[in-house]
Amino acid sequence: MFPADSIWHADVSALPVHPRSAQWLSHMQASTRSLHPDFGPSGGVPYGIPFTVVAGSHAKVPVTFDYAGESDQVPYPLGPDTLIEGGAGSGGDMHALVVDASTCRLYETWDTRQSGSAWLAGSGATWDLRSDALRTAGWTSADAAGLAILPGLLRYDEVLAGNVDHAIRFTTNVSDRSYLWPARHQAGSVTDPTYPPMGAWFRLKAGYSTAGLSAQTITVINAMKDHGLVLADNGSPWYFQGTADNRWPDQVISELKRIPASAFEAVDVSSLQVNANSGQTVGTATPPTVTPHRPR
């Protein structure tokens, strides 16, 4: 998902700590919080954000958006087979993420719903997954930061394979009314740079111990050390997202919940930027691999 030189795949383990790191962590209650996996097994409808893969022959429909001025006005491949976060009509964010496998195009909507045969959504965006192009500056997406959601989700298949080669999407409750590259949009509630902006990047400190943890948990921890977490939306502090999949082991979810937020630090990713309108990075790509990281 996105080229190997995308910021999503960048190795941020050696980047400098951001000058605002301590202030941001303080306002995110890092000293008293732990990570919270916002996904996991739950019986019937699995907890997390699902996604749907379709062929190019799938019918596409017009969508009426509440935020039409910042939404991509193209037909979307939505239908009765579309998986919606929480289930149709469930309330909440009701994200719909759809990948057209024939064109490598990603379609994402927020607050996705139907009225009769008509499709409605709060906002919507599309991406060519072969391109580093970002959205128009100032535009939202199906996420507050104006970023794609799917590339930042933990997916069980990649954790099972032993390699997560991308940053992970997460939330906090109070953010500044600003955004940092590669984010394109803000939805803050305060004008105060001591609060984190959309696009703020955090990494798990290299010295965090993985002793006694399961191999799958170690895979996730290594991703948090190498690629980090990116602030993508407002929500509960330190909630990070994964795909809706009943195969998530309870042990992994339990172990991830024990990681203290204080073990993270904000990093400055600005040195990786090639162009403000592109997610391409300078010489930091981690080529896709299925070779598991060694525990450390």
Range with the poorest average pLDDT among 36-40, 164-168, 227-231, 285-289: 285-289
The strand pairing partners of 125, in sequence order, are: 108
Strands (E), the chain: 36-37, 52-54, 63-65, 96-100, 105-110, 113-115, 118-121, 123-128, 168-172, 201-204, 229-234, 239-240, 264-267
Structure tokens at 72: 């991509």
Given a cut of 70, whether residue 57 has pLDDT beyond it is: yes
Q: What is the pTM of this model?
A: 0.92
Determine how β-strand 113-115 pairs with β-strand 118-121: antiparallel
Is the per-residue pLDDT at 291 higher than 50?
Answer: no
Q: What does the pLDDT read at residue 209?
A: 96
AA identity, residue 197: P
Residue type, 279: G
